[in-house]
Amino acid sequence: MNFFKEYWQFLKEQKKWILIPVLVIFSLLSALIFFTASSSVSPFIYTLF
């Protein structure tokens, strides 16, 4: 949790608000790949990319 607190303080001090949507998209894509890697849906997901 310390990492998130420091990251939030960095965003507030440096006014780098554009990084929030980028990190959200990256985390959603990584979660999608992680959860579909060992399922039967994975061949259909990987054809999208």
What is the DSSP annotation of 4-37? HHHHHHHHHHHT-TTHHHHHHHHHHHHHHHHHHT
So what's the pLDDT on residue 15?
A: 82
Mean pLDDT, residues 30-40 taken together: 75
Domain residues for 29? 2-48
pLDDT band at 41 (very low <50, low <70, confident <90, very high): low
Half-sphere exposure (CA, 13 Å, Cβ side) for 24? Answer: 5
Task: Kindly state the tokens that stand for 11.
Answer: 């965003």
Averaged pLDDT score across all residues of the chain: 78
Number of domains in the chain: 1
Among positive and negative, which fits the CA dihedral 37, 44, 49, 28?
A: negative
